Amino acid sequence: MTGPTSRPPRRSALLRATTVVAAVVPLCTAGWFGWRALDDSGPAGASAAASPGAVVSTSQAPGTPMAPPAGSTPTGATPTGTPTETSTPTAETPTPETPTAAPPADLTGRTIVLDPGHNPGNFAHPTEINRQVDIGNAHKECDTTGTETDAGYTEADYTLDVTRRARALLTARGAKVVFTQDGDRPWGPCVDERARAGADAHADVAVSVHGDGGPASGSGFHVIMPARVVAGKADNSAIVEPSHRLGLLLRDRFHAATGEPYADYVADEGLDTRSDLGGLNLSAVPKVFIECGNMRNSADARRMTDPQWRQQAAQGIADALTAFLTTH
């Protein structure tokens, strides 16, 4: 704010011109340096380490390797052509908004399921992942391979990296974090098993993390919330309302942390409500999906392959879950 208005003493024209030039030059210079400093596919078709002892996996096939170190990719999982990561944001990277306030950080006694979409090994198991499973109102594939960027960075590798980073943040706040898979099984799990993970873990909440394979001309992120489904083995009536509250929090916190715009190919301000996803139809705990960006779009792909941006994505997810668990 400025102080009370007052009339300054008169100055000569030469003195006023000199003052204007002296004021404008530093401002332009500062502005130039500021600019230099910025910089089911998805469920429809479709790394930071946790504290020691914090990893809990819902299942692991006998004889399969344990999860790789944080930030690494399971051996043989990533197709040839995966780009070398760089921590330098590009000029296209949106400027994250400054969060208004950090959410409360005590999640002691709370349990969260994180569901990294797809699995790096799904490519080698087409028979298993194409098996049809009952999602209540339909039958769908057990799982899919997911999408990837033009350079070959897969959705499955992206989701594992971001969820591991989110796990580290959440366990530091006292939460118990359960993964549906942590690169520790050869394929899957199926969507119905992923949905059961929340109930099996007696979790308070669950989030499934994805990268979308939308039209190449489209960009941005969106959150998918459950429609009410009461059909066959599905009855998610009890979770629809809290899941929608979680979806709004996740949209707002993810946008604040990353600066990523709402998807311009989804109609409702970064929100979508669906009844065709087994992971939502069959869940017994509040759950949403997040499509963190469109991996088929070149600008989104540049952001999603940047580890610094992926840390911001994990921050937005962790902050939304924290807000959900501490404000009701």
Q: Which residues contact 248 (CB under 8 A, 6 or more apart)?
A: 271
Chain segment 105-123, per-residue pLDDT in tens: 799 999 999 999 999 999 9
In a domain, 155, yes or no: yes
DSSP annotation of 185: S
In a domain, 1, yes or no: no
In a domain, 149, yes or no: yes
Closest CA to 59 of 154, 150, 194: 194
Catalytic residue IDs:
291
Task: Report pLDDT for 312.
Answer: 98
Chain segment 226-268, per-residue pLDDT in tens: 999 999 999 999 999 999 999 999 999 999 999 999 999 997 8
In a domain, 67, yes or no: no
- Using DSSP's 3-state secondary structure scheme, residue 132 falls into strand
**Domain membership of residue 124 as a residue range:** 42-61+83-326
In a domain, 74, yes or no: no
Task: Report pLDDT for 88.
Answer: 39
In a domain, 184, yes or no: yes
Domain count, the chain: 1
Decide: 184 and 120 in contact? Cβ < 8 Å.
no
Separation in Å, CA 144 to CA 86, 118, 136, 245: 28, 6, 19, 28
Average pLDDT for runs of 10 along the chain of length 328? 38 38 38 38 38 36 40 40 40 47 76 98 98 98 98 98 98 98 97 98 98 97 98 98 98 98 92 98 98 98 98 98 92
In a domain, 32, yes or no: no
DSSP 221-258: BEEEEEPP-EETTEE-HHHHHHHHHHHHHHHHHHHHHH
In a domain, 29, yes or no: no
The whole-angstrom separation of Cα 199 and Cα 31 is 52
Separation in Å, CA 315 to CA 168, 193, 254, 262, 309: 10, 27, 8, 17, 10
- Using DSSP's 3-state secondary structure scheme, residue 205 falls into strand
- CATH code where residue 57 lies: 3.40.630.40
- Using DSSP's 3-state secondary structure scheme, residue 271 falls into strand
For residue 39, how many C-alpha atoms fall within 13 Å in the half-sphere facing its CB? 14
Task: Report pLDDT for 69.
Answer: 41
